[in-house]
A and B are shown apart, each in its own frame.
Chain A
């Protein structure tokens, strides 16, 4: 919706790229737009055409579970909201053919009817929709269009398709109706989906009592796909919880998994909750087959429970296959057109995934989301922003400056003179409601000077009518009774703003979406409701105040805190756009954890970290960003556009910046005392081992005792997934341990990895895991309630633990113990920046993003963004992607000289304020603060540039001193009162009013 409405985004649907030429910064793409046979600019999405269409087919959005017509809207929230004709289903076959095909068919038809001389083939076999459409939006003569698009950069976001589970015959998908895919299940669970949230068995529409989820269908080696699809584990856990909440009839839910990959922020806690609530029974194992039991129409899943050490036959009423993500069909073709490569799986290939998550093999072309491999939504969104940041590098100089002719504001003072415009919306509203009567009724309400109706108020004719009304009747308040303000208020506000009428003196009344569309069965009730809603709208509009969108100047420069890989990336992405950037680093060198001697090689390509870092630092230098080493941030004041930062390094300085990117990184867990570290000489952390790899080149040794150890043991999840400490997953340790183990293995050292779940979710990591197994690295699974024990006196000699898969306790002799330590929030930086910026910190101690899916790099403080591990553990690929995303989000602010402020904010009436501090306590955005004005009198004042206008403070202020603009107490009360104030029936109507109330 936001993208569809954005003035700078053109959404072209039903289109494909057929060629792309040129070079970075100057691409010319030819786009072929297939006809939708409905004019987007005319269609009002009323749905009358669908009602009359006789052709029914399967609905793709509901994966065939629901029917749709040949003319349809793919799903309710589609953008554009236009209907579309499916040429394969439509009866007007001829109309949808190309000129050549049509002529050919005409010829055949004429041949068939050659005896009749005057035979004219009917080109419109059906045409019901044409007749039904009130706005003449349907056009069967539409032809494919081709046009050229000039682009500086190309971003590929083609997503993925589901793995076809039919390929795995043993699961019986396609043969047994009650074996469904996770996507089909998801559509059933969705409240607005096919069954309104009820899960039913496709065979008999009964609620299944026993549901079995099968994970990794077509992933991790099965069906030829070696990679992990990342999202399926959490999806199954979520669905198992939802289905239980929704249907108490569901008795048993079983999840058959291999490793439970709950790697994201808060995911482990979620799984724990599911286990605590016993919403699902977790069984580790991959089923051999599913059998159909014809006697009682049920299924039976054959599986070896690898933890319970027995073969089981699990009876099920329904089986859900968590199918893997596969590359999209057109990926290869598109890659060829664009001149980029695909990887061995068929996803869009990246130049080096360890360096950049979005760069393809061709400069100026970027890919993001599931186009490059399966992703979870937060990573997709971060990557998409990262792609946008890179694309921006080619767009500098093309920046569109938004400069409109200023309009002289109209004088709207004086007592309210309200104009009411009631929309017919074709027959969408007028088909059920008597709009003329509504308009007449509104016309007699006090203060209403004119009340009219219009066929389509949102059309340009309707807007002209509105403008005419304002000018003719000298109106100063407008009520538009039409559809929902959520989509159309901006349209009418803009129409008002264009003539200088303050757009905040307009109120929309929703009599379509929330009235005529949903009360078809109670016509009188609907009429009554519409009447009341209009009355309430008029009551509110009387009390509306003109509001002006404020502006504060924007300092078009940014500060990046932290010189690790995240900070470097963010700083250069901004600096390449020509924005002044200052990067502040506490230590005397750039690179953070990537710098020597922290990491030697990076998985999965085994490129030396130093090489990558050198490349990045070179780019940073070329970008022109100002780098300050040995410098710390002392204090931060201000708000978006106007941060004032004191830094202390060689010199004391104050910076004025518009946005701040926090990239201070994370600390590694200190295992002091755990697993004998500190006491036993040959127990080291994964970080120590990396350093020893460097020492090895300089003649050092791998083992602290000197020499090469004969055997080594890795213990995973040290300091992560710990109920007493950090409960989350640190994401990077599994692949890192496997990378290190492989290296030891190649040196002839027997290596064992003690793990709880192997979470090789990053790109290429699953393949590395297989390789390690092939090389003879031993993997020992420890149950989550056990801990491995390091045995030895002065020196570790063995690791003892309970092997979950063998079902007995093992003692593995070892010469070296490596603890794979997790991440923890960096202190004291996290606390200090939390105090200075007021950005929230989550329960896990990491900075909290504003929304995990919608705003993964933003904080609740506008203009403060997060890059890298400061937000939660992640590996280098994800850190770099997030850093670019943060840079992209920062440049959204920094693109303009001024920050526009939404005028719908809260304000304090200072005479009433008693400085109790309630508002300060409850505001999550830290907008209110105490000020002394005049000296000696303390009051709260709300910073309009921080306020988001939720109005919560207004409802909490005990003195009633806070006004929530546009939703004031008075306006709310007026609306409530108007509901119950029945106005007299419009019997005796004033002549003047009658005249205009046509």
Chain B
């Protein structure tokens, strides 16, 4: 019965159109439940393709994203971190995203102090409807981080540090 099914499977099994770039960055994306995570879902429903080298971590509000999370990600070897939330005025919790900006600025200062490039950390507002924008941001950011190359913190022996710091 499965003419259509077979065909479909065939389509998917086609080799990737372009050979994948040699090195792919590892990117952590923090997203709030109501806007940016939902925006990523919208990208899915609309099948808007983007690069897969990021991992989403969902929080209820971008205000929850503290410097410690971002720094932990860099410490463990992330090549880039994207913080995302609702557009101003859209926050489900009145002004959590404005708090997120303050936290982000602090984090950015520390990231710079650590000697990491500014381009490895980014803040973006993505609404639940902006699936295309989510995909675009991910592609842009992935390319940007790929151009920067592996994080200078990557590959260092960080186990001891982590153990002492972990809560």
Instruction: Tell me the bound Cα distance from A529 to B57 in angstroms.
Output: 13
Interface of B toward A, CB cutoff 8 Å? 1-5, 7-9, 12, 16-17, 20, 24, 26, 28, 33, 37-38, 40-61, 63-66, 68-69, 72-73, 76-78, 92-96, 99-100, 103, 127, 129-133, 135, 162, 166-167
Kindly provide the distance from the CB of A618 to the nearest chain B CB, expressed in whole angstroms: 40
Q: A427-B5, A976-B69 are in contact. Are A191 and B132 (CB under 8 A)?
A: yes
Contact between chains at A980 and B78 (CB < 8 Å): yes
Tally the A-B contacts, defined by beta carbons under 8 Å. 194
Residues of B within 8 A of A515 (CB): 52
Contact between chains at A519 and B131 (CB < 8 Å): no
Residues of A within 8 A of B127 (CB): 191
Residues of B within 8 A of A517 (CB): 44-45, 47
Contact between chains at B8 and A51 (CB < 8 Å): yes
Instruction: Tell me the bound Cα distance from A520 to B13 in angstroms.
Output: 9
Contact between chains at B64 and A955 (CB < 8 Å): yes
Contact between chains at A951 and B52 (CB < 8 Å): no
Contact between chains at B48 and A952 (CB < 8 Å): no
Closest B residue to A948 by beta carbon equals B93
Interface 1/0 per residue, A928-966 and B, CB below 8 Å: 000000000000000000001111101110001000100
Among candidates A191, A510, A522, residue contacting B130 with C-beta atoms closer than 8 Å: A191
Instruction: Tell me the bound Cα distance from A522 to B142 in angstroms.
Output: 14
Contact between chains at A427 and B8 (CB < 8 Å): yes
Residue with the greatest number of chain B CB neighbours at <10 A, chosen from A950, A951, A970: A950
Q: Is A526 an interface residue (CB 8 A)?
A: yes
Contact between chains at A979 and B37 (CB < 8 Å): no
Among candidates B5, B64, B162, residue contacting A950 with C-beta atoms closer than 8 Å: B64
Among candidates B9, B94, B100, B167, residue contacting A431 with C-beta atoms closer than 8 Å: B9
Contact between chains at B4 and A518 (CB < 8 Å): no
Closest B residue to A52 by beta carbon equals B4
Q: Which of A534-568 contact B (CB under 8 A)?
A: 536
Q: Is A924 an interface residue (CB 8 A)?
A: yes
Residues of A within 8 A of B24 (CB): 525
Residue with the greatest number of chain A CB neighbours at <10 A, chosen from B50, B60, B64: B64
Residues of B within 8 A of A252 (CB): none
Kindly provide the distance from the CB of A273 to the nearest chain B CB, expressed in whole angstroms: 13
Residues of B within 8 A of A529 (CB): 52-55
Contact between chains at B135 and A518 (CB < 8 Å): yes
Kindly provide the distance from the CB of A372 to the nearest chain B CB, expressed in whole angstroms: 28
Contact between chains at A967 and B60 (CB < 8 Å): yes
Nearest 7 A/B pairs, CB to CB? A952-B63, A513-B44, A951-B64, A955-B66, A132-B4, A950-B61, A525-B52
Among candidates B46, B51, B58, B72, residue contacting A973 with C-beta atoms closer than 8 Å: B72
Closest A residue to B130 by beta carbon equals A191
Interface 1/0 per residue, A851-892 and B, CB below 8 Å: 000000000100000000000000000000000000000000
Contact between chains at A979 and B26 (CB < 8 Å): yes
Residue with the greatest number of chain B CB neighbours at <10 A, chosen from A520, A840, A952, A972: A952
Interface residues in A, total, Cβ within 8 A: 68
Contact between chains at B44 and A952 (CB < 8 Å): no
Residues of B within 8 A of A510 (CB): 41, 56
Instruction: Tell me the bound Cα distance from A341 to B127 in angstroms.
Output: 41
Q: A431-B9, A517-B47, A922-B99 are in contact. Are A533 and B16 (CB under 8 A)?
A: no
Q: Can you spell out 10 A-B residue pairs with CB atoms less than 8 angstroms apart? A: A131-B1, A192-B46, A510-B56, A513-B44, A517-B44, A519-B51, A950-B60, A952-B96, A956-B66, A976-B72
Q: A515-B52, A517-B44, A521-B49 are in contact. Are A192 and B57 (CB under 8 A)?
A: no
Contact between chains at B94 and A924 (CB < 8 Å): yes
Contact between chains at A76 and B8 (CB < 8 Å): no
Contact between chains at B41 and A486 (CB < 8 Å): yes
Residues of B within 8 A of A532 (CB): 55
Q: Is A197 an interface residue (CB 8 A)?
A: yes
Contact between chains at A484 and B9 (CB < 8 Å): no
Contacts A514-B41, A977-B76 known; list 9 others, CB within 8 Å: A52-B8, A191-B131, A431-B8, A485-B58, A924-B94, A951-B60, A952-B99, A967-B60, A979-B55
Kindly provide the distance from the CB of A465 to the nearest chain B CB, expressed in whole angstroms: 23
Kindly provide the distance from the CB of B122 to the nearest chain A CB, expressed in whole angstroms: 17
Contact between chains at A951 and B61 (CB < 8 Å): yes
Residues of B within 8 A of A840 (CB): 94
Q: Is A975 an interface residue (CB 8 A)?
A: yes
Residues of A within 8 A of B33 (CB): 486
Instruction: Tell me the bound Cα distance from A908 to B96 in angstroms.
Output: 19
Residues of A within 8 A of B56 (CB): 510, 514, 533
Q: Is A786 an interface residue (CB 8 A)?
A: no
Kindly provide the distance from the CB of A847 to the nearest chain B CB, expressed in whole angstroms: 14
Q: A510-B56, A514-B44, A536-B57 are in contact. Are A132 and B8 (CB under 8 A)?
A: yes
Q: A950-B93, A952-B96, A979-B76 are in contact. Are A525 and B51 (CB under 8 A)?
A: yes
Residue with the greatest number of chain A CB neighbours at <10 A, chosen from B1, B58, B167: B58
Closest A residue to B7 by beta carbon equals A52
Residues of A within 8 A of B57 (CB): 536, 972, 975-976
Kindly provide the distance from the CB of B163 to the nearest chain A CB, expressed in whole angstroms: 11
Residue with the greatest number of chain A CB neighbours at <10 A, chosen from B4, B47, B73, B130: B4
Residues of A within 8 A of B37 (CB): 484, 486
Contact between chains at A970 and B167 (CB < 8 Å): yes
Contact between chains at A197 and B44 (CB < 8 Å): no
Q: A197-B133, A980-B77 are in contact. Are A131 and B4 (CB under 8 A)?
A: yes
Contact between chains at B52 and A519 (CB < 8 Å): yes
Closest A residue to B1 by beta carbon equals A131
Residues of B within 8 A of A222 (CB): none
Residues of A within 8 A of B132 (CB): 191-192, 196-197
Contact between chains at B99 and A432 (CB < 8 Å): no
Contact between chains at B8 and A48 (CB < 8 Å): yes
Contact between chains at A526 and B52 (CB < 8 Å): yes
Q: Is A632 an interface residue (CB 8 A)?
A: no
Q: A956-B99, A969-B68 are in contact. Are A190 and B76 (CB under 8 A)?
A: no
Residues of A within 8 A of B63 (CB): 950-952, 955
Contact between chains at A518 and B3 (CB < 8 Å): no
Q: Is A589 an interface residue (CB 8 A)?
A: no
Residues of B within 8 A of A190 (CB): 129
Contact between chains at B3 and A131 (CB < 8 Å): yes
